[in-house]
Structure 1
Amino acid sequence: MTDSYDRVAVVTGADSGIGKATAVLLAEHGFDVGITYHEDEEGAWETAALVREAGKAAAVRRHDLTDPVRAAHVVDELAGELGGIGVLVNNAGTGSSEPLLGMDYERWRSVLSVDLDGPFLCAQRAARRMATEGRGGRIVNVTSVHEEYPRVGAGPYCAAKGGLKLLSRVLALELAVYGITVNTVAPGEIATPMTGQEDRVPRAGSRPGYPIPRPGDAREVAAVIAFIASPAASYMTGSSVFVDGGMVTMGPQAAGALQSGDWR
């Protein structure tokens, strides 16, 4: 695998949480960073300021994945402003929390659009540029433990994340000839605004059902993404890395400990 790809990264949804932590860490590792946001423009510019404090260039664009075709053009805009693209981190996403029987089609499609259609189109844009340049690259798709494990009330989210896992593996097969690797990072519960928590170091002992009994920190996920985005990960493609404190290993163990059917 070539490792001469542009030291320019585009991180979607980098206005807070995992995306913000990833953008800052990639800057510290020598990447100029393109930052996208949906609604939190102030947060995006805060991320850009941190990237610049690390001595690297930053560019910011609004990115509305409910219109994924239009949103994908942002990848080209950021690559044009920053002088290329060597890494794409598809981090932006949304969730769902309602039973499938009562869900209308528009709601279903809105989640699939953001969590699956958008990453596909952004990856396609980035990969075309990487392939044309001929220097390789990295695509990292942030999924969830729900790329593999179901959750009540999260039907479209689970379907999208599971689809993104297999999309990533097909891309890994198709893009390897260009020196482009494609992998997924699957976080568990991370203390971010998306999970309704503040972006601060999680309190130890607060999740007794997890082997590591706390939520994760966004910087812990960012560290894994940064490794996969680095030249050191040149022989890694088509893989999923779970960053979940061992949560998914607790399936049979946790099921046996339940005393009620409230989970339904």
Structure 2
Amino acid sequence: MAVVTGAESGIGRATAVRLARDGMDVGITWYADEDAAARTAAEVRAHGGRAAVEHLDLTRLPDAADAVDRLADALGRIDVLVNNAGTGTAISFLDTDFATLREVVDVDLLGPYLCSQRAARRMVGQGGGGRIVNVTSVHAHQPRVGAAPYCAAKGGLGLLTQTMALELAEHGITVNAVAPGEIATPMTGQEDTDVHTVERPGVPLGRPGDAREVAAVVAFLAGPEAGYVTGASWPVDGGMLRMGPMAGSHLTDHSWRRP
């Protein structure tokens, strides 16, 4: 059984459906749109999986992490946790107020920490190992102006992933990160966009990613074929990180391609 946080839309929804296609029951959490979470659950069931739904507000810590235990109780166990729920900012470092900083760090770092603790304790108790996949960002590896709290939290989640991988390995639990670039989701204002019709000159593959492309990598890391993979970060970014200081979805032409 898998728990996917933030599964009402975007990467979380695509991941929940993909894991159901792969034969898993799925626990779904939602933050803002219960009806959307119900639609995700219906898709999971349409693929033959059982589904359970819980509200999760990661600004209400530590109690919010109880949702992981409730979903595990509802579906009988937990074998996979995907920490996908997240939030971000578009404000300068100098202008960021404490409330905004605290919200982003709670949702993007402390929440995944506590949810992973709950899941890992159950996995250890069950025996047989498990999988934890943290959805970070390319900005866990490279900074972005206007996103200081987000970069700090996602960078911290990246190092937490590595530490968890070391500590949980003896229990047969692997821990990896998936680091998306620009993906067509509600967070980027592109839900249901045909990514092949959108030009992104600043991305080597020339377009945004589709949420299902991220879900496919999460599903690999959550599955049996990734049993010897742990502590790694898997960018799903169309090659953007390989550009280093030239990177950016904001670029408007292809001049960087020429020496």
Whether TM-score is above 0.5 comes out as yes
CA distance, structure 2, for counterparts of residue 123 and residue 221 of structure 1 = 20
Tell me the residue number matched to 1:213: 206
RMSD of equivalent CA atoms = 1.3
Tell me the residue number matched to 2:255: none
Q: Are 1:17 and 1:199, in contact at CA under 8 Å, matched by a contact in 2?
A: no
Tell me the residue number matched to 1:125: 118
Tell me the residue number matched to 2:81: 88
CA deviation vs aligned residue, 1:194-245 (integer Å, no higher than 9, x gap): 1111223313461012110000000000000000000110000000000000
Counterpart residue type for residue 152 of structure 2: A
| Equivalent position to 1:28, from 21, 42, 53 | 21
CA distance, structure 1, for counterparts of residue 130 and residue 240 of structure 2 = 31
Superposition map of 1:1-264 within 5 A: 8-204=1-197, 206-254=199-247
CA deviation vs aligned residue, 1:107-153 (integer Å, no higher than 9, x gap): 11110000000000000000000001111000000000001100001
Find the residue that maps to 2:196 and give its secondary structure.
Answer: coil
Find the residue that maps to 2:81 and give its secondary structure.
Answer: strand
Worse overlay, 204-213 or 186-195:
204-213
Counterpart residue type for residue 127 of structure 1: A
CA deviation vs aligned residue, 1:178-208 (integer Å, no higher than 9, x gap): 0000000000000000111122331346101
Shift of 1:154: 0.2
Q: Are 2:20 and 2:47, in contact at CA under 8 Å, matched by a contact in 1?
A: yes
Shift of 1:68: 2.5
Gaps of 5+ in 2: 253-259
Shift of 1:252: 4.0
CA distance, structure 2, for counterparts of residue 175 and residue 9 of structure 1 = 18
CA distance, structure 2, for counterparts of residue 205 and residue 42 of structure 1 = 29
CA distance, structure 2, for counterparts of residue 172 and residue 234 of structure 1 = 12
CA distance, structure 2, for counterparts of residue 69 and residue 252 of structure 1 = 38
CA distance, structure 2, for counterparts of residue 186 and residue 209 of structure 1 = 18
Q: Percent identity?
A: 64
CA distance, structure 1, for counterparts of residue 215 and residue 197 of structure 2 = 20
CA distance, structure 1, for counterparts of residue 246 and residue 5 of structure 2 = 36
Tell me the residue number matched to 1:262: none
CA distance, structure 1, for counterparts of residue 2 and residue 116 of structure 2 = 12
Q: Are 2:10 and 2:191, in contact at CA under 8 Å, matched by a contact in 1?
A: no
CA distance, structure 2, for counterparts of residue 142 and residue 178 of structure 1 = 22
CA distance, structure 2, for counterparts of residue 169 and residue 175 of structure 1 = 10
Worse overlay, 244-253 or 170-179:
244-253
CA deviation vs aligned residue, 1:62-112 (integer Å, no higher than 9, x gap): 100011311100000000000000000000000011011111112111100
